Structure 1
Amino acid sequence: MHPMASLLSTALNVTARLAPGPAGRRAFALFVRPLGRARLRPEEADPMARAVRGRMVVYGTAVTTYRWGDGPRPVLVVHGWSSRASRFAGLIEALRAQGRTVISFDAPGHGESEGRASTIRDYRAIIGRLHAEHGDFSAVVAHSFGVLATFSMLHDGMRADRVVGIGGVADFDYLVARFRAGLDLGEGVGRALRAHVERRLFPGDPDIWRRLDARRRFADVRAPILLVHDTDDDVIDPAQSRAIAAAYGPQAHLIETSGLGHRRILADPDVIRTAVEFAVSEAAPPAPVPAPAAGAHRA
């Protein structure tokens, strides 16, 4: 561990024992900061240039939105942590080739949006505003942290005909555990961070942790679900997608790939093909899903 990180870890662990409130605030300030702002890649420039840009203000921060096409029941694309909408450029192009309208956004502190921090509350607010503006989605395709945000909104009544989760997070506490492990923080800091999230983001909401857990199946979520996760993902454990698949049983298909990791999976042609075919399928759930390229397997 870097010496500065070690000092920070010691300070937070000691503070959590003596004053949980300040420890929770300091941990939260680190927890909500993306790991740098992902830049637009050259191969993403043309698809993003074809988007109609919009703007919304969420909790005081200006957020950039994107739309390709103007048809009804669009496909919503939700990026992950320290990422941006443009990482879905290949998938967006494939959806457009199928005649689908696509909408997306850069969360606060990401891509072309303002701010330096982002929270699950921000993601939920943006998705909720887009749902209110465009109506029910024909599909939602989400990655990583975006998968957790998507399921939390489905639990709150957002409607989508189909859901695709790639390298997804199943529960918020997993993110807290990863944060603690990365900085060698004790359980006291985790408890203080969790308490601060409750007070700062969801005051007076006793059910929030239930809704921030995609492993809890809600009867009203009836859309067929495709989950894709790489066994070599070193950012989000594949067990997270397996847990969602187990919760939803035959309603969900889980495909495990290998050799793609957490980020390259978004640009893989076979993953894009499989996700798009699932998203645009008119078949009744649970729909059969074509297998990806050699080296991938179902679980």
Structure 2
Amino acid sequence: MDPTRALIRTALNPTARVAPGLAGRAAFELFAHPLRRSRVRESEREVHGRAEVERLTVNGKAVAGYRWGGGERPVLLLHGWRSRASRFAPYVSRLRALGLSAVAFDAPGHGDSGGRTTSVLEFRELALQLQERYGPFEAVVAHSLGVCAAFGALADGLSAGRLAAVSGVSGVGFFPAAFCAGLGLNAEVERALRERIERELFGGDAGGWERFDAVRRVEAVGGPVLVVHDEGDRVVPPSEAHRLRTAYGERLDLVLTQGLGHRRIIAEPAVVDQVIGFVSAGTEAAA
């Protein structure tokens, strides 16, 4: 048994029964904090070193942005939780060969960016900032949490021809339930955490859950969607992918893999081929 998880569970579960506000605040601090930063892997170092580094800011936090290419015909890359932009290194050269630029960022608390915490709202804000610099995107390629942020941003003003979603979360409501389940926290803690999220992130608006649920805003997301998900994903279950498929119907192509899990899948050559093929089909259609 993980002693840290056991300690958190022992502290928060009884607290939520007598002081739900205190438990919710403590759970939120853990929920919003990635705890550790991913480093650039050796296989990513050469591509990462070729990026033009840009500076972005969100909620007073300094954010590292990256650009490969001159910014023409941009493709936005959105990483996942406890990840970083360099994880998309296998995609960059392929995108450049198509005449596309790749743009990305390390979210706050991730990679080379400042801050200790972040949220799906900050992902959305940073994506919109990059759109202001480079104009509409040819496509968005996203992984995990980045998928949820991409759907939310596309429904709130981000313009992109198509979306490739790898191991994605379909709605922000998934996160508090998964967080509490992973730590063995009870229903009282989850309820307190959801209330804290509504207060801190949604300004007290319970409708925030729907605004960041791709299934409830299908009409606001234009263009074709590719979803790639592993059947054995233990972090984000494939039911999230099937939920999207049911909602988007023929607009969405679903590709299921086996044995790639949640993190390895993003750099798997066959998956890179699938995503690049999907993106290039959009460029051919535009031409």
Aligned partners of 1:70, 1:280: CA distance in 2, in Å?
Answer: 18
How has the CA–CA distance of structure 1 residues 273 and 189 changed in structure 2, closer, same or farther, with 3 Å as cutoff?
same
Aligned partners of 2:263, 2:246: CA distance in 1, in Å?
Answer: 24
TM-fit CA distance, 1:13: 1.5
Question: 3-state DSSP class of the match of 1:216?
Answer: helix
2:134 is equivalent to residue 141 of structure 1 = no
Q: Which residue of 1 aligns with 2:186?
A: 186
Moved more, 75-84 or 4-13: 4-13
Pairwise mapping of residues 267-282 of structure 1 onto structure 2 (< 5 A)? 267-282=267-282
Pairwise mapping of residues 89-100 of structure 1 onto structure 2 (< 5 A)? 89-100=89-100
Pairwise mapping of residues 86-235 of structure 1 onto structure 2 (< 5 A)? 86-235=86-235
TM-fit CA distance, 1:5: 2.5
- Mapped contact 1:217–1:248 kept (Cα < 8 A): no
- Mapped contact 2:139–2:163 kept (Cα < 8 A): yes
Aligned partners of 1:260, 1:7: CA distance in 2, in Å?
Answer: 31
- Mapped contact 2:147–2:169 kept (Cα < 8 A): yes
- Mapped contact 2:142–2:165 kept (Cα < 8 A): yes
How has the CA–CA distance of structure 1 residues 30 and 162 changed in structure 2, closer, same or farther, with 3 Å as cutoff?
same
TM-fit CA distance, 1:108: 0.7
Aligned partners of 1:262, 1:35: CA distance in 2, in Å?
Answer: 19
Aligned partners of 1:82, 1:241: CA distance in 2, in Å?
Answer: 21
Question: 3-state DSSP class of the match of 1:227?
Answer: strand
Structure 2 unaligned regions, length at least 5: none
- Mapped contact 1:137–1:161 kept (Cα < 8 A): yes
Aligned partners of 1:233, 1:109: CA distance in 2, in Å?
Answer: 24
- Mapped contact 1:225–1:253 kept (Cα < 8 A): yes
- Mapped contact 2:54–2:64 kept (Cα < 8 A): yes
Aligned partners of 2:186, 2:115: CA distance in 1, in Å?
Answer: 29
Moved more, 180-189 or 143-152: 180-189
TM-score by length of 1: 0.91
TM-fit CA distance, 1:206: 4.5
Which portions of structure 1, spanning 4 or more consecutive aligned residues, are displaced by more than 6 angstroms? none
Q: Which residue of 2 aligns with 1:297?
A: none
Q: Which residue of 2 aligns with 1:2?
A: 2
What is the root-mean-square deviation in Å for CA atoms of aligned residues? 1.6
Aligned partners of 1:284, 1:27: CA distance in 2, in Å?
Answer: 47
Moved more, 223-232 or 66-75: 66-75
2:80 is equivalent to residue 74 of structure 1 = no
Q: Which residue of 2 aligns with 1:56?
A: 56
The amino acid of 2:148's aligned partner reads L
Aligned partners of 2:273, 2:48: CA distance in 1, in Å?
Answer: 20
Q: Which has the higher helix share?
A: 2
Q: Which residue of 2 aligns with 1:19?
A: 19
Aligned partners of 1:219, 1:235: CA distance in 2, in Å?
Answer: 28
Aligned partners of 1:206, 1:119: CA distance in 2, in Å?
Answer: 16
> How many correspondences in the alignment?
285
- Mapped contact 2:218–2:247 kept (Cα < 8 A): no
Aligned partners of 1:265, 1:132: CA distance in 2, in Å?
Answer: 30
Aligned partners of 1:4, 1:95: CA distance in 2, in Å?
Answer: 42
Q: Which residue of 1 aligns with 2:32?
A: 32
TM-fit CA distance, 1:73: 3.5
* Residues 186-212 of structure 1: CA deviation (Å, up to 9, x unaligned): 111111111111111221545311111
* Residues 138-177 of structure 1: CA deviation (Å, up to 9, x unaligned): 0000000000000011111211101000000112222111
The amino acid of 1:257's aligned partner reads T
